[in-house]
Every structure is written in structure tokens, then in C-alpha cells.
């Protein structure tokens, strides 16, 4: 079979290259172990750093609120309590490792704990909003800092915003803690991954062990040990596969046996006429001056044996050809009535010789798509047998009928009939009920095997009903239209 034609190639998951099953099993196991672990640690680290930032911002907000409150109370912006608060502002900035900037109503910076922007203007969106009474918290993730802006009111009664207090602080120290934790977990993850890989490889080796066992057993079978017990029931799948394979092997065994039987039958059948010829020739040679009539008689016997040998060989060739492939059917539209009539016309002299009456009963006109030569051979074999295995003054009736799908050829005879026990076997190659009688009539024992082959090639069926001593009826059922 061509690789491209293989039906299992249609499965989307069929890998392009063949790999050991251990590989996907190991990969899956590693992924199942690692994905949840990585997800968990990542989630923990991200939420941990977020929680730290949130906590620091909340604390800065409350600090800023306290400071702005105090500034309001000491009237910081008018310059009164500025000196008193300077230390406190610096301390607050240092505690949070940040920078505090105070902006007055003119957007001018009047205090900067870094002492680099005093007297400069600070006009930013957050500051403008702050003068409208809004408190804002901004966190810049990329630059890793946050800014909290709070208004400074004129007094507790007068809610006019007279200044803005801005505190910016870097989150770098906080994040570097979580980063070092992340580094440590990465190391842990690598160790876990290593352990997972080793465990997954071990598990995949263990899980695929029954498959390897099955392979070893199948290997024994392939070496010729057809009796090896291959049932591997470690998994339901291996049990099913091994059972299926065992079934195939037992069928193969049967085929092998029948092939051996066939070969020995063929040898035996071919040897029999040759042995007879040898015996006849030897006795002729041993006779010395035998009369010409005796020579002629012996030569006629030899000729009969040669005919038999040739019959067997022809029948064998026909069977072999049919076994090859059904593509060899040469299908055409055939008038079956005319075909049967022709067969009967050809066989009538033989039937007359045996004093057997041949009758054709055509129930309707039938035209079908068949291989004319092969179907003719199949029907001829049945009619010939019906004549051969008949009694003197007997009859053979061939009936042709059809329905919308099939045509039926029924060959009934008044002959010797067939024992019920052997009815299944008479279609086997070389099987004969009465070897002596069959030989007498020149039968090869292949006629019914050929007929059955032809019928099966046409996707039809053959049925036998017979009673010993009363006669037999063979019925062929062939489809009117051949579907390849
Ligand atoms: P053969 O060449 O011996 O006739 P077949 O395959 O045609 O071989 O038939 C197999 C055997 O079936 C025959 O030997 C015969 O014993 C039996 N048989 C076939 N047809 C009939 C029949 N119409 N009546 C009785 N026996 C038959």
C-alpha cells in the first residue's frame, strides 16, 4: 500500500515523523507538572508585588493627608510654620525613600526635599486637578514609582485649596525584594522541572511497558511462533489490540492450513492421472508383442487420463485467475435467457447420452450486467453436475426468474442428492462426495469452487437445497446491475 493511501494518515494528529510513544507521554507529564506550578508561582509573585505597592501607597496617602492637615493648621503656605515643619517633611520623605514637593497657588514649588526644583513652576494635570480639590494616586509601572497628590486647604472651615502636596516614591526597593524571591523560585522551578522530567521519563517507560511486551510477543509471532499467547491485558487498549491481532493470527493460521491442504490436494490430484498413465504405459511395455487392439485400448485409456490432467490444470488456472482480482470482470449487458439456452444447447448431447432430460423454464426476459464468459461457466458447471450426478431417465430443470434487483437461476435435478452433513463442504476445492463416481465422470472437484467464485465476484449468492436420493437444487442470485 502506498504511504499516501494509508487511511490513518487522514487523522489530523498523526505526526509527520514516527516517534516513540514515550516522548508525547513524557512531554504531557512534564507539562501537567510544570504549567500549574509556573502559573501558581507567577500569580503569587505578581500579586505579592502588587500588594506591597498598594500597601506602600496607602501608607503614603495617609502620611500625606496628615502632613497636608498639619500644613493647613500651621498656615504653612503663608510661610508661618514652614521652618517648624521642614524637618517633619524631610523625615516623611526619607521614611518612604521618596520626594515631597509643595506647590503654591501660583504653581510654584515652594518646598522640595531634593532641593533641586524650588521656585520652579510645576504645572501638571494632577496638580491642576488637586487645586480643584481632587486627591490623586498614580502608579507608573514601567518607571517603577508612584505619585500621591493631596490638596492643602486654607483652613478647616475654608475649603479653598491653597497648595498641593505631592509625594513621589520609587517602588524599586519593594520590587527588588519580590524579584529576588522570583529568582529563588525560578531556581526552585528549574529543580522541580528536572525532577519532573526524570519522573516523566520514568513514568512513560513504565506506562508503555505493556506495549513493549506486546511488541516482543508479536515479534515472536512474526518469527513464526503462531501459537504464542499474545493477550496483554495490562490496559483495556492493549487487551483489545492483542485480541484483534490474535483473531487475525488465527485467521492466518486457517489460511495457512487451507493453503497447505490445497497444495497437497493439487499435488495429489495432478499425480493421480500421471500414476495411471505410468501404470498403463509400464504394462504396455511389459507385454512385448501385444495385439494392436490392446495397444489401442491402452492408448485410449492413456488419452482419457491426459484429458483429466488437462481438465484439472485448466480448472486450476481458471480458479487462480479469479482469485487474483475482481477487476478482471469483463462486464457487459447480457441477455441471460439467450445465454442459458446456449448452455443447454451445448450440454444437451451429453444429457441425451446419459438419458437425462434438460428443461428450460424462463419466467421472464432478463438482461443483466455480467461477465458473460464467467457467468456462462458458473451456470454450465451447475447444469453439468446436475446431469453427471443424475440417474438414468432423470431430468434437469433450469429456471430463470428476476425481480427489480436480482436475477435467479435455479438448477434442479432428479439426481442422487447430497448428504446434509457435506452440503457446506461441496464448494471447497477438490471436495467430492463420491470420489470414485466423480473421477469416472472426469470431474476435477473444482467446478463448484469456480461457480462460487464467479458468483461472489458478481456480488451475488449461491444456495443449495438437497436431499440424498431425491435430487438437488442450486440457486444463483446475481444483481442485475453490477456495482464495482
Ligand atoms: P466435480 O468435478 O467432482 O463434479 P464439483 O466441484 O463440481 O466437482 O462438485 C463437487 C462435488 O459435489 C461433486 O464431486 C459431487 O460429489 C457433488 N455434487 C455437485 N453437484 C451435484 C449434484 N447436482 N448432485 C449431487 N452431487 C453433486
The predicted pLDDT at position 339 comes to: 96
Q: Report the separation in Å between the CA atom of 412 and the middle of ligand 1, taken as the mean of its atom positions.
A: 13
pLDDT in tens, 289-321: 778 888 899 899 999 899 989 988 988 888 888
Q: Report the separation in Å between the CA atom of 312 and the middle of ligand 1, taken as the mean of its atom positions.
A: 14
CA dist 362 → 422, 423, 451, 475 (Å): 31, 27, 21, 14
Residues 366, 407 contacting (CB under 8 angstroms): yes
Task: Name the DSSP letter for residue 121.
Answer: B
pLDDT average, residue stretch 410-430: 92
The predicted pLDDT at position 11 comes to: 53
Range name among 3-17, 214-228, 368-382, 426-440 with the lowest pLDDT average: 3-17
Statement: residue 2 has pLDDT above 80? no
Most confident of 35-49, 145-159, 384-398, 429-443: 384-398
pLDDT in tens, 53-64: 889 889 999 999
- Which of residues 395 and 22 earns the better pLDDT score? 395
Nearest to 472 by CA among 375, 394, 380, 361: 394
Q: Where are the beta strands (DSSP E) in 134-188?
A: 136-140, 145-153, 161-170
Q: Give the closest residue (by CA) to ligand 1 atom 11.
A: 432
Q: Report the separation in Å between the CA atom of 265 and the middle of ligand 1, taken as the mean of its atom positions.
A: 16
Q: Report the separation in Å between the CA atom of 403 and the middle of ligand 1, taken as the mean of its atom positions.
A: 29
Ligand 1 atom nearest to CA at 446: 6
Q: How far apart are the first and last CA of the chain?
A: 20
Q: Please tell me the distance from the alpha carbon of residue 484 to that of residue 471, in angstroms, as a whole number.
A: 36
The predicted pLDDT at position 328 comes to: 74
Q: Please tell me the distance from the alpha carbon of residue 407 to that of residue 409, in angstroms, as a whole number.
A: 7
Statement: residue 421 has pLDDT above 60? yes
The rounded Cα 117 to chain-centroid distance in angstroms is 75
pLDDT average, residue stretch 433-461: 84
Q: Report the separation in Å between the CA atom of 437 and the middle of ligand 1, taken as the mean of its atom positions.
A: 10
Q: Report the separation in Å between the CA atom of 161 and the middle of ligand 1, taken as the mean of its atom positions.
A: 121
- List residues near ligand 1 (CB under 6 A): 381, 385-386, 389, 413, 415-416, 418, 426, 431-434, 438, 443-449, 472
Q: Report the separation in Å between the CA atom of 267 and the middle of ligand 1, taken as the mean of its atom positions.
A: 20
pLDDT average, residue stretch 146-165: 90
User: Which of 448, 473, 475, 476 to mutate for ligand 1's pocket (most ligand atoms within 8 Å of CB)?
Assistant: 448
Instruction: Decide: helix, strand or coil at residue 152.
Output: strand
> What is the band of 442 on the pLDDT scale with cuts at 50, 70, 90?
low
User: Which of 385, 440, 473, 476 to mutate for ligand 1's pocket (most ligand atoms within 8 Å of CB)?
Assistant: 385
Q: Please tell me the distance from the alpha carbon of residue 484 to that of residue 480, in angstroms, as a whole number.
A: 13
For the beta carbon of residue 127, count every other beta carbon within 10 angstroms.
19
pLDDT average, residue stretch 48-72: 89
Ligand 1 atom nearest to CA at 386: 23
The predicted pLDDT at position 438 comes to: 65
Q: Please tell me the distance from the alpha carbon of residue 434 to that of residue 299, in angstroms, as a whole number.
A: 27
pLDDT in tens, 193-240: 899 889 989 988 998 899 999 999 999 988 888 888 889 888 999 899
The rounded Cα 380 to chain-centroid distance in angstroms is 46
- The model carries a pTM of 0.55
Amino acid at each position: 500500500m502506498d504511504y499516501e493511501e494509508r487511511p490513518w494518515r487522514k487523522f489530523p494528529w498523526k505526526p509527520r515523523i514516527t516517534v516513540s510513544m514515550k516522548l508525547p507521554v513524557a512531554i504531557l507529564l512534564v507539562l501537567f507538572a510544570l504549567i500549574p506550578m509556573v502559573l501558581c508561582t507567577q500569580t503569587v509573585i505578581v500579586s505579592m508585588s502588587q500588594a506591597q505597592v498598594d500597601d506602600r501607597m496607602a501608607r503614603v496617602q495617609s502620611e500625606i493627608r496628615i502632613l497636608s492637615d498639619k500644613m493647613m493648621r500651621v498656615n504653612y503656605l503663608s510661610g508661618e510654620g514652614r521652618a517648624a515643619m521642614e524637618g517633619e517633611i524631610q523625615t516623611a520623605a526619607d521614611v518612604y525613600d521618596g520626594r515631597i514637593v509643595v506647590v503654591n497657588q501660583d504653581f510654584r514649588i515652594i518646598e522640595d526635599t531634593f532641593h533641586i526644583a524650588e521656585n520652579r513652576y510645576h504645572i501638571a494635570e494632577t496638580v491642576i486637578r488637586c487645586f480643584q480639590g481632587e486627591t490623586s494616586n498614580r502608579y507608573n509601572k514601567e518607571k517603577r514609582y508612584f505619585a500621591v497628590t493631596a490638596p492643602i486647604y486654607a483652613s478647616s472651615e475654608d475649603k479653598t485649596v491653597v497648595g498641593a502636596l505631592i509625594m513621589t516614591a520609587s517602588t524599586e526597593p519593594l520590587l527588588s525584594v519580590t524579584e529576588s524571591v522570583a529568582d529563588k523560585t525560578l531556581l526552585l522551578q528549574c529543580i522541580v522541572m528536572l525532577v519532573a522530567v526524570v519522573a516523566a521519563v520514568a513514568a512513560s517507560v513504565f506506562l508503555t511497558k505493556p506495549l513493549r511486551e506486546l511488541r516482543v510477543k508479536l515479534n515472536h509471532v512474526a518469527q513464526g511462533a503462531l501459537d504464542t499467547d499474545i493477550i496483554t491485558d495490562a490496559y483495556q487498549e492493549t487487551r483489545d489490540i492483542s485480541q484483534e491481532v490474535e483473531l487475525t493470527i488465527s485467521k492466518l493460521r486457517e489460511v495457512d492450513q487451507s493453503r497447505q491442504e490445497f497444495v497437497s490436494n493439487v499435488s495429489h490430484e495432478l499425480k493421480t492421472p500421471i500414476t495411471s498413465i505410468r501404470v498403463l504405459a509400464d504394462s504396455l511395455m511389459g507385454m512385448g508383442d501385444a495385439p494392436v487392439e490392446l495397444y489401442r485400448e491402452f492408448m485410449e485409456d492413456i488419452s482419457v487420463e491426459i484429458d483429466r490432467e488437462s481438465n484439472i490444470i485448466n480448472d486450476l488456472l481458471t480458479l487462480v485467475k479469479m482469485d487474483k482480482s475482481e477487476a478482471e470482470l469483463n462486464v457487459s449487458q447480457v441477455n441471460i435467457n439467450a445465454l442459458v439456452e446456449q448452455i443447454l444447447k451445448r450440454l444437451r448431447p451429453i444429457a441425451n447420452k446419459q438419458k437425462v432430460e434438460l428443461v428450460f423454464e424462463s419466467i421472464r426476459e432478463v438482461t443483466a450486467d455480467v461477465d458473460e464468459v464467467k457467468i456462462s461457466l458458473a451456470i454450465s458447471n451447475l447444469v453439468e453436475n446436475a446431469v453427471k450426478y443424475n440417474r438414468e431417465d432423470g431430468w434437469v430443470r433450469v429456471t430463470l426468474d428476476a425481480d427489480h434487483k436480482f436475477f435467479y437461476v435455479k438448477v434442479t435435478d432428479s439426481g442422487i442428492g447430497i448428504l446434509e452433513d457435506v452440503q457446506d463442504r461441496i464448494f471447497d476445492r477438490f471436495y467430492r462426495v463420491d470420489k470414485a463416481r466423480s473421477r469416472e465422470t472426469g470431474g476435477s472437484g473444482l467446478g463448484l469452487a469456480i461457480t462460487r467464485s464467479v458468483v461472489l465476484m458478481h456480488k451475488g449468492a449461491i444456495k443449495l437445497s438437497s436431499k440424498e436420493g431425491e435430487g438437488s437444487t442450486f440457486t444463483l442470485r446475481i444483481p442485475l446491475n453490477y456495482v464495482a
